[in-house]
């Protein structure tokens, strides 16, 4: 990964783009409606969230789940050279349009960066590195170049490569490797299930009971874990698991996580 690239959100170097560019609807996740391009009423003059320490109790659970993978600071400091939308209102439409594109590209970079670190995927390293460099180059273009990116096509190409890396890793794991790709497992009873090396790509696991389940080496890219109960589950070595997925789930001190991820503050002790 280039030394100047961060795939972790740095709100201190972002112009509050997730609080302005993106829309949200009043729901269990958000206390109000907000249109795209309209600043959230909680956004302060310094681009910080005025209720950051009490988002959940204020009805903004959705904000605590979101992660831009470092796209916010990239758009703010690289694409627009550190000039914010308040100082240059004319730049606002292009800046707000660039952010969701950059976020998707940064998410792909995050997955590629993880794949490059997998020893079993070493045979794919040249292709993974080339894909990383290609996507990284897209993130460094100007606003017009970003707007022209066909994100769906880029994602399709990267997805196939990530699946190859996943299959190499999971082939070395013991036992039967279950394929639940894209399955509807909403509220499924999977307590203590052996899901080692399972394909859970895009699987709907909303509200699923995964207490004490073994998810070591499972491919969970795109899996929907909202409200899933991960108490006591083992996710060490889970492939392409993100902080967003953990933040949306429930867990406890007994939940085992990859070293690269953080136990959410709202999980039980």
Domain boundaries, the chain: 11-170, 177-269
CA distances from 229 to 131, 191, 192, 218 (A): 35, 9, 12, 16
CATH number of 177-269: 2.160.20.80
Are 105 and 140 a contacting pair, CB within 8 Å? no
pLDDT in tens, 69-101: 999 999 999 999 999 999 999 999 999 999 999
For the chain, which residues score pLDDT lower than 50?
Answer: 1-4
d(CA 166, CA 51): 39
pLDDT in tens, 111-144: 999 999 999 999 999 999 999 999 999 999 999 9
Counts for the chain of helices (H) and strands (E), in that order: 7, 0
pLDDT at 1: 39
């Amino acid at each position: 990964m280039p030394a100047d690239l961060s795939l972790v959100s740095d709100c201190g170097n972002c112009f509050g783009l997730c609080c302005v560019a993106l829309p949200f609807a009043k729901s269990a996740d958000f206390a109000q409606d907000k249109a795209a391009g309209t600043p959230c009423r909680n956004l302060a003059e310094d681009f910080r969230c005025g209720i950051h320490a009490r988002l959940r109790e204020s009805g903004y659970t959705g904000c605590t789940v979101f992660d831009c993978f470092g796209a916010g600071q990239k758009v703010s400091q690289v694409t627009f050279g550190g000039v914010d939308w308040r100082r240059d209102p004319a730049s606002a439409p292009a800046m707000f349009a660039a952010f969701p594109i950059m976020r998707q590209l940064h998410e792909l970079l995050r997955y590629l960066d993880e794949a490059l670190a997998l020893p079993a995927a070493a045979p794919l390293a040249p292709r993974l590195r080339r894909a990383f460099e290609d996507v990284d180059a897209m993130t460094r273009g100007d606003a017009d170049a970003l707007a022209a990116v066909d994100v769906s096509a880029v994602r399709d190409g990267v997805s196939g490569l990530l699946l190859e890396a996943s299959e190499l890793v999971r082939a070395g794991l013991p036992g039967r490797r279950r394929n639940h790709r894209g399955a509807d497992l909403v509220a499924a009873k999977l307590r203590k299930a052996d899901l080692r090396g399972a394909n859970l790509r895009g699987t709907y696991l909303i509200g699923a009971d995964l207490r004490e389940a073994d998810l070591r080496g499972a491919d969970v890219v795109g899996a929907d874990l909202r409200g899933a109960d991960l108490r006591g589950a083992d996710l060490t070595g889970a492939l392409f698991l993100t902080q967003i997925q953990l933040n949306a789930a429930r867990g406890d001190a007994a939940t085992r996580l990859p070293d690269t991820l953080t136990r959410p503050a709202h999980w039980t002790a």
